[in-house]
């Protein structure tokens, strides 16, 4: 799978503010950057820093009056399909220490509040079968759409409202997984089938020794997702964190499938 990604951001700043951008596709073993360029029009130097868990990168910019950023990339994804259903459960006491923060409730994934319900509802399931049941439950029980508090809602509220956008789907799946003792994190991603086209958010669950991407909205398969960043919830994976206030002027995200490049061109010639 090859994807072309184009992002255009244009924000106005009533007062100067530091801005942390996180829009670049991460270079990882299962997704390679064929090309990429991030252009930020600014009088201030831009500084890149590694993302959380060493995945992807963030960059610091300075919003003064106006901040315009353009990002273009071509990414090749080579992520083998995994049959999650057969993956065994890992007892919590055998989890690697690095996964333990992803068992904890976080601001938008209040897993502690959903634990009592989840344990009764999904009793008897574990490992990959449990993960798939959680994802299927979220997809079946939520309606896709904005709610009046969108951008501030957490899993608890989404569980009651039964409506939300991609971040809400991801938060709820992550919270349910944590409530069931499966480490789970949120992933900012690009994917071709997102409608309307936008930044995307999905979940990643730790099963049988590895992280596995799951899009609870059903919009994207695991092999179509380009990871940008990972973290505990929307706070960590925001494409833009503004230390101050800003006004959106324009924002566009376009992700398109590209034809597979002709590699292995006839060696006989």
> What six digits make up the tokens of 3?
């994807």
Window 210-229: contact mask with its own copies (x via CB under 8 A)? --------------------
Least distance to its own copies from the beta carbon of 186, Å? 13
Contact with its own copies (CB under 8 A) among 132, 156, 177, 214: 156
**Which CB atom, from 29 or from 93, has the smaller least distance to its own copies?**
93
CA distance 132 to 269: 49
Question: Going by DSSP bridges, is the β-strand pair 31-41/57-77 parallel, antiparallel, or unpaired?
Answer: antiparallel
Looking at the chain, list the stretches that DSSP marks H as alpha helix, in order from N- to C-terminal side: 111-121, 127-141, 155-161, 166-179, 234-237
Is the peptide bond prior to 196 cis by the omega test (within 30 degrees of 0)? yes
CA distance 26 to 166: 20
**Binding of its own copies at residue 116 (CB under 8 A)?**
yes
**Binding of its own copies at residue 93 (CB under 8 A)?**
yes
**Binding of its own copies at residue 263 (CB under 8 A)?**
no
**Binding of its own copies at residue 261 (CB under 8 A)?**
no
**Binding of its own copies at residue 16 (CB under 8 A)?**
no
Handedness of CA 152, 140, 170, 68 (dihedral sign): negative
Least distance to its own copies from the beta carbon of 128, Å? 20
Contact with its own copies (CB under 8 A) among 58, 167, 200, 212: 58
CA distance 142 to 75: 31
Which of 212, 187, 191, 202 lies closest to 130, judged by CA? 212
Least distance to its own copies from the beta carbon of 95, Å? 8
**Which CB atom, from 55 or from 258, has the smaller least distance to its own copies?**
55
Instruction: Identify the three-state secondary structure at position 214.
Output: strand
Footprint on this chain of its own copies (rule: CB under 8 A):
18, 20, 45, 47, 49-52, 58, 60, 62, 92-97, 100-101, 103-107, 110, 113-117, 119-120, 143, 148-149, 151-152, 156-157, 159-163, 181, 231, 235-236, 241, 243-245
């Amino acid at each position: 799978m090859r994807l072309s990604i184009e992002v255009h951001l244009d924000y106005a700043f009533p007062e100067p503010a530091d801005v942390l951008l996180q829009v670049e596709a991460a270079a990882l073993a299962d997704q390679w950057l064929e090309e990429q360029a991030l252009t930020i029009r600014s009088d201030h130097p831009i500084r890149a820093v590694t993302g959380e868990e060493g995945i992807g990168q963030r960059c610091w910019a300075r919003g003064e009056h106006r901040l315009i950023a353009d990002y273009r990339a071509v990414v090749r994804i080579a992520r083998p399909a995994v049959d999650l259903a057969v993956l065994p459960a890992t007892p919590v006491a055998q989890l690697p220490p690095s996964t333990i923060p992803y068992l904890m409730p976080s601001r938008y994934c209040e897993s502690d509040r959903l634990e009592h319900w989840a344990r009764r509802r999904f009793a008897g399931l574990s490992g990959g079968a449990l993960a798939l049941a959680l994802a299927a439950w979220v997809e079946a029980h939520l309606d896709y759409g904005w709610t009046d508090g969108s951008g501030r809602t957490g899993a608890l509220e989404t569980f009651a409202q039964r409506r939300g956008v991609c971040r809400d789907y991801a938060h709820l799946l992550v919270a349910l997984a944590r409530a069931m003792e499966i480490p789970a994190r949120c992933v900012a991603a690009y994917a071709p089938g997102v409608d309307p086209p936008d930044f995307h958010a999905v979940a990643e669950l730790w099963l049988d020794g590895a992280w596995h991407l799951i899009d609870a909205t059903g919009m994207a398969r695991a092999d179509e997702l380009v990871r940008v960043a990972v973290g505990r919830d929307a706070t960590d994976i925001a494409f833009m964190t503004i230390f101050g206030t800003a006004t959106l002027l324009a924002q566009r995200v376009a992700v398109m499938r590209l034809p597979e490049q002709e590699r292995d061109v006839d060696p006989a010639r």
